[in-house]
Copies of this chain bind each other. A is one copy, B any other.
Amino acid sequence: MRIVVPAGGTGGARFVRGLLAALADSSGTGAPGEGWTVTVIGNTGDDLTMWGLRVCPDIDTVLYTLGGGIDDERGWGRVGETFTVKDELAEYDSLPTWFGLGDRDLATHLTRTALLADGATLSEATAVLAARWELPGRGVRLLPMSDQPVETHVRLVPPGEDAPRLVHFQEYWVRWRAEPAVEAVVSVGAEDAVPAPGVLEAITEADFILLPPSNPVVSIGSVLAVPGIRTAIEESLAPVVGVSPIVGGQVVRGMADKLLPAIGVDVSAAGVGLAYGPGLLDGWLMDTSDAADVDRVAAAGIACRAVPLMMTDVPATAEIARQALALGELVEQ
C-alpha cells in the first residue's frame, strides 16, 4: 500500500504520525517500508534564508514530529530547546532576531546549509537529515515538493508603512503575528520550479492520496502551486481524500482564517472542501460539528463524511487516518 501525503508543518506532521500508528496497528500490513510506504511531499513554501542559513520550517517539523524530537506543546522546534545563540545574536544587534531559531534547531540548519553549499540538492540534504531521524526505518520517505526555491509571499501593508508590498510569509506569520490584512498570496519562484525527483512518480503510483489538515492556502496550496503536482493528483487513479483543517467554523490551529478570505474561500469545513473541489478531491472528512454541511459538499460530487477530527493525541489521530483510508476505499469502488 503506497500512500502519498502532501504536508505542511504541525497539522500535516501530526496527521502522518497518526497514520503511521494506524498502519502499525492494522494486522497484515507488514513491516514499515515493505507492506506499506508513506511518501510525504513536504511544503517548502515557508522556507527562508535567515542568518545565512537555509531554514525549512515545515520539513523540519515533519522530521522532528516523526523522529520523536518535536516540542509537542509548541508544535514546532525541538523538545528541551535552548536559545543561547539567539540571545547572543541579540547582543550583537546586527541580525534580525524575530525568528525563533533554537540551538538544537540550528544544528539542522547548519547541516542543511553546508550540504547545499557543497552542491547537494534539497532532496539530497533532506535525505541526510531524515536518516538521523530514522524516517526510512519508519516507512516514511520525505521529499521536498521541489528542489528549487519557491517562497510564499503575502501582499500587505507592513506596520508603520503606507503602501502594500510583498513580504515573506514567515515575516507576516512570525514577526507580525498575522495581524496585517492579507491582500494576496503569491508563490514566488513557482513558475520556474519543477517537482523534486520522485514526487510525480509517487503520486502516479499511489494507492491513496491523503490531504492532511494542513493550512489549505500556504501549505497544501504551495505544494499544489508547483507546476505538475496538482495535475498529477487530479489525474491519479488513487482515491484522494482530504481532512478539514476547519472544525466548527474555526481553525483548529494556526491562522488559516486570516488567509482563506484572501483567496476568496469561506472559513468553514465545507468552504475549504469545495475550494479544493471535485476535480482534486474524491472524499472529504469534516468534523461531526460540521455535519450539517455534509450534503452541500456531497452535492458537488465529493464523498463526504462527518467524523471526530480533533487530533488530541496519537490514537485519536490514528482513528482519523483510518477514517480517511476507509473513505478512500469506499470511493474507489
Contacts and interface: CB of A to CB of B under 8 A. Distances in A.
B85 A107 contact: yes
A interface majority secondary structure: helix
A113 B89 CA distance: 12
Size bin of chain A's contact surface: 20 to 34
B94 A114 contact: yes
Contacts of A95: 110-111, 114
Contacts of A107: 84-89, 91-92
B85 A117 contact: no
A161 interface: no
B129 A110 contact: no
A258 B53 CA distance: 38
A91 B132 CA distance: 7
B94 A52 contact: no
A103 interface: yes
Nearest to A107: B88
Interface in A114-146: 114-115, 117, 128-129, 132
Contact of A128 (B88, B89, B92, B128): B92
B132 A111 contact: no
A117 B95 CA distance: 12
Given A94-B128, A128-B94, A88 B104 contact: yes
Contacts of A93: 132
A204 interface: no
Interface in A69-90: 82, 84-89
